[in-house]
Structure 1
Amino acid sequence: MPVQKARLSSSESLPEGSANALLASDLRALRKARGLTLSEVALSLGRSVGWLSQVERGLSTPSITDLRAFAETFGVSLSLFFGHDVHDEDERGVVVRAGHRRSLGTSDSGLVEELLSPDLGGSFEMLRSEFAPGAELKLPASRPTEEAGYVAAGQFDIEIDGVWHHLAEGDSFRFGGKPFRWKNPGEEPAVVIWVISPPVY
């Protein structure tokens, strides 16, 4: 899904300590989710395999320029990499507060997503997806995942493997490895809590 590029200056600080370890985990998860090797990503970044390996193990911290290149390579918003700060260290990697969700960007298709999971290192990710009235994914998408969703608000239509399903608040769905597309037929935003395994962001 297309995302909006975040604008961060070279003076903005990068994650440190435990936050850097979570960033490293996210970068590794993104690479694996896309089926890319260390060599392929290193070539795309113009970096060595050794450097990339150290970044994925949390031994080296990528620069802002590096993170922009990562975002471009993985097709995600740069802002995804800047949201590991927590007020209570005991909550790091465990709790995501409402005001500190990481945005996955906005798109012209009318979809705004926020990451509800603390990081991308687990076996699944949980998202809050908000679909604008009339928004739709016109061409079917397909990915090697198992997915489930719960409609928290509004109306939501989803086509799974060629069959359309009309869902309302309180309804839910699940599918795996099948082509899908969606649309919001209502006049109000539709909010879907979406679970994807393995993580794709």
Structure 2
Amino acid sequence: MLIAGGRRRATWYTITVPFDQEDPVTSLETAIDQQALSVGRRIRALRRARGLTLVQLAGEAQLSHPFLSQLERGLARPSMVSLERIARALGSSQVELLAPTDGSGASRARPGIEIVRASDGPRGPYGQAEGRLLVNGDRPFHPMILVGTSADPGDYFTHAEDEFLHVLDGTAVVDLGDGEHRHLGVGDSVYFVGGTPHRWWAADDDGYRVFVVKEKPETT
């Protein structure tokens, strides 16, 4: 899924690498960082769900096999540029890869119930936009709020899971790979099945705010 525009937040991913270089890798000098390990495990699970080998994912993301191997074991940290390449290759996003997986927001008294306040929820880049996940941990589906202002369509995203989009503010132009540009305003929605190429962008300078629900990939 592609959302254009938005600002990037500072994270512990501090390596910056030009697009024409490989191996943006930093081995951790101390004990394995738990966030790095969580990101690595999520990448490995998604890679296996997509039926990709490390070599295949490296080719899709234009990164090296040794780097990805270290990353999946929590022994390396990628730059945000590298993380975006990996996310695109996996049909995911940076904010989804970086989100905690422990479900820490769930109620202790009612484990199956979770409330996420307006100020909470993992936040981070979603393509070139800003995303906020509305659940914590691994759930059967991923609802989120995305905000974008860029008019650049960017590249298509494709993944195996179904997806739903509902416009809350502004106007988004949606392209589902068939050459038709659909202008969706406040209250409009679109649902598309897995395997559909998709991208969207802002119709004007006011940008947009959309509610998106994605199926959780079938991981093993």
Mapped to 2, the partners of 1:78 and 1:157 lie a distance apart of 22
Contact conserved, 1:96 with 1:117, CA < 8 A, in 2? yes
1:197 aligns with 2:197: no
Q: Are 1:81 and 2:93 matched, yes or no?
A: no
Structure 1 residues 29, 89: CA separation in 2 closer, same or farther (over 3 Å shift)? farther
Would you say the 8 A contact 2:106–2:115 is kept in 1?
Answer: no
Greater strand fraction, Structure 1 or Structure 2: 1
CA distance in 1, matches of 2:95, 2:197: 27
Question: Does 1:162 pair with 2:179?
Answer: yes
Q: Which runs of 5+ in 2 are unaligned?
A: 15-27, 58-64, 88-92
| TM-score (norm. length: structure 1) | 0.62
The answer to whether residue 46 in structure 2 is matched with residue 30 in structure 1 is: yes
Higher helix proportion: 1
Cα RMSD between the aligned structures? 4.5
Q: Map residues 118-197 of structure 1 onto 2, 5 A cutoff.
A: 118-119=136-137, 121-132=138-149, 134-160=150-176, 161-176=178-193, 177-197=195-215
Relative contact order (alpha carbons < 8 A, sep ≥ 6): 1 or 2 greater? 2
Give the counterpart of 1:102 among 122, 128, 137: 122
Q: TM-score, normalised by structure 2?
A: 0.57
Tell me how far apart the structure 1 counterparts of residues 192 and 68 of structure 2 sit (CA, whole Å): 38
CA displacement at 1:197 relative to structure 2: 2.2
Structure 1 residues 78, 172: CA separation in 2 closer, same or farther (over 3 Å shift)? closer
Q: Report the secondary structure of 2:181's partner residue.
A: strand
User: Once the 2 structures are TM-superposed, how far is the Cα of residue 80 of structure 1 from its aligned partner?
Assistant: 4.7
Rounded Cα–Cα distance in structure 1 between residues aligned with 2:158 and 2:118: 30
Question: Which amino acid letter does the alignment assign opposite residue 31 of structure 1?
Answer: R
Going from structure 1 to structure 2, the CA distance change for 1:158 and 1:44 (only over 3 Å counts) comes to same
- 1:98–1:38: structure 2 CA closer, same or farther, 3 Å change rule? farther
Distance (whole Å) between structure 1 residues aligned to residue 159 and residue 97 of structure 2: 20
SS in structure 2 of the partner of residue 98 of structure 1 = coil
Distance 1:165 1:28 in 2: 35
Q: Which sections of structure 1, spanning at least 5 residues, go unmatched?
A: 56-61
